Amino acid sequence: MSLPDELQKLPMRARSVLRSLADYDGPATVEAIRAATDLGERGAGKAIRQLVTSGYIKMPDKGQYRLTEQGRQAASELIAAEEAVAARAAQQAAARQKAIPRHARRMVVVLAQELVIDTPARVMVGLDAPAAGQTPLPEPRDLVLRLSAPGCEIEPPQHSLEVPADGTAGPVAFRVTAYQPGGVRLRLEARQRLETQDLRVGGVYFDLNVADFPTPQSAEIQALGGTIELYAGASM
């Protein structure tokens, strides 16, 4: 939907004030309006004066403002128009992503079921061969795998991995040392290197306990996995 001419002519700071007041059933102070809009004192003052002059807001008490009926209708139209624009943008972005040819691979992570404080543990990462029926890769692809975890030392923080067109890739090994007992969340991100950009193609996260001393769980190995989607078209 399109905005009426009078709303299109409103400066962005005035639109922000309209939107913020739509959240109030009663009046709002200037301080509340500034907090909701991130406007400075001068900008908020100009916007408020313009909206009062235009009949969109009124001042029932000193230092407090609320929408008039005209203002409430204008705020509804403004919010609806902005939501429509955001929805169209999301649809267009989804369509662009859908149009990109993709090649799915399963990423496998092998690691202990539990970490031990101050004790390095290996995290192995690799890719399975492609399943039947996949969009083929015209040539090998380059990935960057990044592992992170709060309160842990990770060496190295990232690995490069070449993905062959029709075979397995890796594994590569990270060394993780936890320094705080309790729980930790490990995040693994996969990014594909293209000519003009790095494209995020997937990732996984997993939560592990960090024990003070070795336990049976710290000696047990588990395999976790997730799917990544490689860009399979021509170079971007």
The pLDDT, as a whole number, for residue 236 is 44
Same domain, 111 and 131: yes
26 and 78 co-located in one domain: yes
115 and 219 part of one domain = yes
Domain span holding position 148: 102-231
Those residues with Cβ within 8 angstroms of residue 65's Cβ, 6 or more apart along the chain or in another chain? 21, 27, 28, 30, 33, 48, 52, 57, 58, 59
Among candidate residues 45, 63, 98, the one where a domain is terminated: 98
Here the CATH number for the domain that contains residue 39 is 1.10.10.10
Which pLDDT does position 234 carry in this prediction? Answer: 54
Domain identity same for 107 and 207? yes
Q: Are residues 171 and 57 in the same domain?
A: no
- Spatial CA neighbour of 31 closest among 45, 52, 50: 45
User: Would 43 be classed as within a structural domain?
Assistant: yes
How high is the pLDDT of residue 232?
76
Question: What separation, in Å, do the N-terminal and C-terminal C-alpha atoms of the chain show?
Answer: 34
Q: Which two tokens stand for residue 53?
A: 């002059």
In a shared domain, residues 54 and 145: no
Residues 80 and 106 reside in one and the same domain: no
Number of domains in the chain: 2
Are residues 146 and 191 both part of a single domain?
A: yes
> What's the token pair of residue 171?
């594994």
Please answer whether residues 20 and 33 qualify as being in contact, where contact means their C-beta atoms are separated by less than 8 angstroms.
yes
Output the pLDDT for position 155: 93
Residue 236 falls inside a structural domain? no
Residue 78 falls within a domain, yes or no? yes
Claim to verify: residue 92 and residue 202 sit in the same structural domain: no
Among residues 98, 116, 143, the one where a domain terminates is 98
Query: Is beta strand 121-127 parallel, antiparallel or unpaired with respect to 158-163?
Result: unpaired
Per-residue pLDDT in tens (0 to 9) along the chain, 236 residues? 566 777 778 888 888 888 888 888 788 898 888 888 888 888 888 999 999 998 999 988 888 899 999 988 888 888 888 888 888 877 766 655 555 667 888 999 999 999 999 999 999 999 998 887 776 778 888 899 999 988 889 999 999 999 888 888 889 999 999 988 888 889 999 998 887 777 888 888 889 999 999 989 889 999 988 888 888 765 44
Considering the entire predicted model, what is its pTM?
A: 0.55
**Residue 141, pLDDT score:** 86
Kindly state whether residues 214 and 192 are assigned to the same domain: yes
